[in-house]
Amino acid sequence: MPGLEDLYREIILDHYRSPRNRGELPVPPAHKVEGFNPLCGDEVVLYLDVDPDTDTVRDVKIAGQGCSISQASTSMMSAAVKGKSVAEARQLIRAFKALMSIHEHKLEGEGDGADLQAELEGVRLGDLEALQGVVKFPVRIKCATLAWNTLQQGLDETG
Amino acid sequence: MTYLDVARIKEDFPILRREVHGHRLVYLDSASSSQKPIAVLDAMDQMYRTSYANVHRGVYTIAEEATAAYENARTKVARFVNAPSTAELVFTRNATEAINLVAYTWARANLREGDAIVLTHLEHHANVVPWHMLAAERGVEVRWIPMTPDYELDLSNLDALLDGAKLLGVSAMSNVLGTMPPVRQLVDAAHAVGALALVDACQYVPHNVTDVQAWDADFVAFSAHKLLGPTGIGALWGREALLDAMPPFLGGGEMIRDVRLDGFTPNELPWKFEAGTQPIAEAVGFGAAVDYLSALGMDAVRAHEKQLTAYALNALLERFPRTLHIYGPLDVERRGGAVSFLFDEIHAHDVSQVLDEDGVCVRAGHHCAKPLMRVLGVPATTRASFYVYNDETDVDVLVESLAKAEKFFLG
Ligand SMILES: Cc1ncc(COP(=O)(O)O)c(C=O)c1O
């Protein structure tokens, strides 16, 4: 039986209680994107400042409300992608989804360890790995991925 | 004073013997769906084992037995809500389908552009979305009876809201707040302007003595699964003259008296609204559930829940005087046993996750009442709801578990 400590690791509670990069950026030049989980009402707002010349995420600010998992994941995501190139950010999105056992464009099977290894190859998840325990609580996976889906949408819209 | 022997009642519910995460199961989500006693499980099992056949068709013995069991269940359910006649008690899939039946038949036959219907801020999506769909299709106006800061309906502007309205739809008990609006008063006000009244009694019937005639309503909807019965069956009670005049809902077998190449003649009530093979064993389970509740006595059920709800409200306010907010009236005379609350700093989902660790089942979310949640200004609440198998020990476990959640998240 997975326990609460698997889900709510200390680093997650820390990001929940003291979220990083909270605030707003002027739009434009920043791009604002909102993610919403209609089932539980969780909401993520991202302000993305992508430098078109260098294709890097110059700055990111977050807002919104929701459960500890969704808000901590948003905070951790903002810290992870700030200063990264768009390509690196997209790689992080893929790696994070692989960590959550989400394999896009695949219908059958759970995906094997090799898949996860391939997606994670050369990616440093760092603190984000603390969210891996969420996988054992299937209904909470959508809480953890909300920020990342919102980031993906934001990058698609700016790119 | 104890009204129910809960220790004995708990033994009637096999699921309450199981453990979750090493803890006794404490089921506090009956407002969502109730657990089932052995009497209901056995009645359905017995039907499948001894008398199962399709109803109203065969002339062989078990088909006759099945038909008798199905119709006998209807009689029990009709009596349970004091319907004057079994012709007025239509089996549906659930309360949602019962309300949709009214929206698709009576409303589409009688309402046109510019007509108004009146709903309340308390309504469940089941009594909102069918009317939004009608509004979009027909240009019907939907008006709302607002809520007061004390979580009651604000009836100060009722006459103006009802002016020119054709239908009033009201929940007899809110599944989020526990609020019990004054149904009879609202029905009378609707009738005074020539409007019909539909009562969503999905939360009311399981917990109170229900008398559709005392309400003087026109339509009453409820579900079996919230009153110890199975899923897949519910009921619409409607006045015979209205049901008679309404066009049928779904077409197919059962609901016809005659079918020709050029048309059909609908069946008599209540079968006119029961198209296709019905949930037969579920009807039998529905009947067994109302028998079980009647044996306890609905007066005793209500008295027990009032007592337990008062105990719970008290315990929550005493233990968390500053950090926990209760959404709903505090006077148990005016409310039922669905208790919504929220910690200032902890999300409802996080609370229920910690509670699950202790085997405590509560609901966290918008409870299919998003318009109401918008009025309350919160995206989600945690809701504990009580039934005949809950006692003060269950409430104590809840409170201890909440204290644990508070400590876990707020340190
Ligand atoms: C007040 C109210 N109305 C209607 C419904 C819908 O019931 P069902 O899902 O059984 O159709 C519910 C169920 O949650 C309810 O609480």
Residue nearest to atom 16 of ligand 1 (CA): B175
Across the interface, whether the CB atoms of B379 and A143 are under 8 A apart is answered: no
- Min Cα distance B375 → chain A (Å) is 14
Instruction: State which residues of chain B have pLDDT below 50.
Output: none
The reply to whether ligand 1 has any atom less than 6 angstroms from the CB of B124 is yes
Q: At A113, is the secondary structure helix, strand, or coil?
A: helix
- For residue B237, the cross-strand partners are B89, B220
pLDDT for res A119: 65
pLDDT for res A4: 83
Q: Which atom of ligand 1 is nearest to the CA of B32?
A: 14
ipTM of the complex: 0.80
The reply to whether ligand 1 has any atom less than 6 angstroms from the CB of B100 is no
Q: CA–CA separation, B246 vs B272, rounded Å?
A: 10
Reported as a single tens digit per residue, the pLDDT across B85-107 is 999 999 999 999 999 999 999 99
pLDDT for res B219: 98
CA angle B302, B303, B309 (to 5 degrees): 85
pLDDT for res A24: 94
Q: Crossing angle, helix A86-99 and helix A141-158, to 10 degrees?
A: 160
Across the interface, whether the CB atoms of A68 and B347 are under 8 A apart is answered: yes
Q: CA–CA separation, B411 vs B407, rounded Å?
A: 5
Tokens of A123: 């990616």
- The active-site residue out of B25, B129, B303, B368 is B368
pLDDT for res B217: 98
Reported as a single tens digit per residue, the pLDDT across A94-123 is 989 888 876 554 444 444 555 666 666 667
Across the interface, whether the CB atoms of B353 and A43 are under 8 A apart is answered: no
Q: CA-based Rg of chain B, rounded to a whole angstrom?
A: 22
On chain B, the residues whose CB falls within 8 A of the CB of A140 are: 349, 353
pLDDT for res A117: 63
Amino acid at B174: S
Q: At A131, is the secondary structure helix, strand, or coil?
A: helix
Ligand 1 center–CA B32 separation, angstroms? 8
The reply to whether ligand 1 has any atom less than 6 angstroms from the CB of B224 is no
- Min Cα distance A124 → chain B (Å) is 28
Ligand 1 center–CA A88 separation, angstroms? 47
Distances in whole angstroms, Cα of residue A51 to Cα of each of A60, A94, B153, B244? 12, 22, 53, 69
Across the interface, whether the CB atoms of A41 and B408 are under 8 A apart is answered: no
> pTM for this structure?
0.92
Reported as a single tens digit per residue, the pLDDT across B378-407 is 888 999 999 999 999 999 999 999 999 999
Residue A20 carries which DSSP code?
A: T
Reported as a single tens digit per residue, the pLDDT across A2-58 is 678 888 888 888 999 899 999 999 988 899 999 998 777 789 999 999 999 999 999
Helix (H) or strand (E) holding A71: helix A68-81
The reply to whether ligand 1 has any atom less than 6 angstroms from the CB of B95 is yes
- Band of pLDDT at residue A137, cut at 50, 70 and 90: confident
Indicate left, alpha or beta for A49 from its phi (over 0: left) and psi (-120 to 50: alpha).
Answer: beta
Distances in whole angstroms, Cα of residue B217 to Cα of each of A76, B221, B236, B382? 55, 11, 12, 32
pLDDT for res B59: 87
pLDDT for res A107: 47
Helix (H) or strand (E) holding A76: helix A68-81
pLDDT for res A127: 82
Question: Domains in chain B, please, with CATH?
Answer: 41-294 (3.40.640.10), 297-410 (3.90.1150.10)
Across the interface, whether the CB atoms of B354 and A4 are under 8 A apart is answered: yes
> Does residue B350 sit at the A interface (CB-CB below 8 Å)?
yes
Across the interface, whether the CB atoms of A68 and B364 are under 8 A apart is answered: no
Q: CA–CA separation, B348 vs B363, rounded Å?
A: 9
Across the interface, whether the CB atoms of B349 and A4 are under 8 A apart is answered: no
pLDDT for res A105: 45
Interface of A with B (CB under 8 A): 1, 3-4, 7-8, 13, 16, 39-43, 65-69, 137, 140, 143
pLDDT for res B263: 94
pLDDT for res A98: 86
pLDDT for res A1: 56
Ligand 1 center–CA B94 separation, angstroms? 8
Residue B52 makes CB contacts below 8 A (sequence gap 6+) with B62, B66, B280, B281
Q: CA–CA separation, B344 vs B355, rounded Å?
A: 17
Q: Which atom of ligand 1 is nearest to the CA of B234?
A: 10
The reply to whether ligand 1 has any atom less than 6 angstroms from the CB of B385 is no
3-state helix/strand/coil string of chain B: CCCCCHHHHHHCCHHHHCEECCEECEECECCCCCCCCHHHHHHHHHHHHHCCCCCCCCCCHHHHHHHHHHHHHHHHHHHHCCCCCHHHEEEECCHHHHHHHHHHHHHHHHCCCCCEEEEECCCCHHHCHHHHHHHHHHCCEEEEECECCCCCECCCCHHHHHCCEEEEEEECCCCCCCECCCHHHHHHHHHHCCCEEEEECCCCCCCCCCCHHHHCCCEEEEECHHHCCCCCCEEEEECHHHHHHCCCCCCCCCCEEEEECCEEEECCCCHHHCCCCCCHHHHHHHHHHHHHHHHHCHHHHHHHHHHHHHHHHHHHHHHCCCCEEEECCCCHHHECCEEEEEECCCCHHHHHHHHHHCCEECEEECCCCHHHHHHHCCCCEEEEECCCCCCHHHHHHHHHHHHHHHHHHHC
Active site residue B368: yes
Ligand 1 center–CA B12 separation, angstroms? 25
Q: Are B294 and B288 in contact (CB under 8 A)?
A: no
The reply to whether ligand 1 has any atom less than 6 angstroms from the CB of B94 is yes
Question: Domains in chain A, please, with CATH?
Answer: 2-158 (3.90.1010.10)
A71 to chain B: closest CA residue? B347
CA nearest neighbour of B187 among B179, B177, B196: B196
pLDDT for res A118: 63
pLDDT for res B117: 98
On chain A, the residues whose CB falls within 8 A of the CB of B349 are: 40, 67, 69, 140, 143
Q: CA–CA separation, B245 vs B226, rounded Å?
A: 30
| Residues 362 through 381 of chain B touching chain A, CB cutoff 8 Å | 364-366, 373, 379-380
Residue B38 makes CB contacts below 8 A (sequence gap 6+) with B12, B13, B14
Q: Are B21 and A1 in contact (CB under 8 A)?
A: yes
Reported as a single tens digit per residue, the pLDDT across B31-60 is 999 999 999 999 999 999 999 999 998 889
